Amino acid sequence: MAEHSRHFTGASIRLDTVDFDYGDMAMHFDLTIEPSTITAVIGPSGSGKSTLLNLIAGFETAKYGRIMIAGTEVTHAAPSERPVSMVFQDNNLFAHLDVAANIGLGRRPDLKLNETDKAAIAQAIQKVGLSGKEKRKPEALSGGERQRVAIARALVRNRPVLLLDEAFASLGPALRHEMLDLVGILQEKAGMTMVMVTHHPDDALRLNSRLIFLDNGKIAASGSAKELLSDNGPSLLRKYLGAEDSAQ
């Protein structure tokens, strides 16, 4: 099932006129994300940022339209069958399992790990800077360390798409920057396609990413973060950022 992603290169993502209803709110996404790129998604609360990620990950099903990843349609595929890993803001780890087991689940859902799996886990732990903490339970880890475990699991899963749903929102500024740098490096090395929802536009600048601005369930602006966040950026985005108010 996961063999398609053993190559560990990025995959393109295509949302082809996807419609989704969230209660009374109708959302519409028509979007292409190039392989091995980083895309940041920003927008007001309730604008559809997490829904966009949930549609790609398979936690929500589109009402109309198609979702393609690496050219294959996955619109109705189960989350575990998609070439996608996702890191959430909270609850990324099973509280009763230690670090190694939490990462190991990314390799085998029955935790029957062979030597290759164990080597991959050890390597991932080292990459995210958690060596020596393999046997710790989540309660004995800091917020940043817990997110590192989730990222390590994403690494051992070898899926070409990594989605971050406000994954670092609960961390302080210094730790958030540290984590952004870490995922930036890992993304560059592995060539994953990364899409992250964030409330901080400077995250997009830090990773030099593409930026998508959502408003009311639709894509209101899309382009390079540098351009969109400049003084010449779209008015709606500037208003959201509070730039127009302060200019006035």
Q: Give me the residues that bind other proteins (CB under 8 A), please.
A: 1, 22-23, 57-59, 78-81, 84-86, 88, 91-97, 105-106, 109-111, 138-139, 146, 157
Q: Which is nearer to other proteins, 158 or 209 (CB)?
A: 158
CB of 151 to other proteins, least distance (A): 14
C-alpha distances in angstroms, 108 versus 116, 120, 130, 156, 196? 12, 12, 20, 10, 25
178 membership: H or E segment, kind and range: helix 173-190
CB of 106 to other proteins, least distance (A): 6
In whole angstroms, the minimum distance from the beta carbon of 188 to other proteins comes to 24
Q: Which is nearer to other proteins, 47 or 92 (CB)?
A: 92
Burial grade of 203 (CB within 10 A; 0-12, 13-18, 19 or more): buried
Q: What angle do CA 78, 89, 119 make, to 5 degrees?
A: 70
What's the min distance (Å) between Cβ of 147 and other proteins?
Answer: 12
CB nearer other proteins, residue 96 or residue 226: 96
Nearest distance in Å: CB 96, other proteins: 4
Q: Which is nearer to other proteins, 8 or 22 (CB)?
A: 22
How many helical (H) and strand (E) elements, i.e. helices and strands, does the chain have?
9, 10
**Separation of alpha carbons 104 and 93, rounded Å:** 11
E runs forming strands in 61-185: 64-69, 72-73, 84-87, 161-165
Q: Number of C-alpha atoms within 13 angstroms, CB side, residue 172?
A: 4
In the bound state with other proteins, the residue whose beta carbon lies nearer, of 135 and 239, is: 135
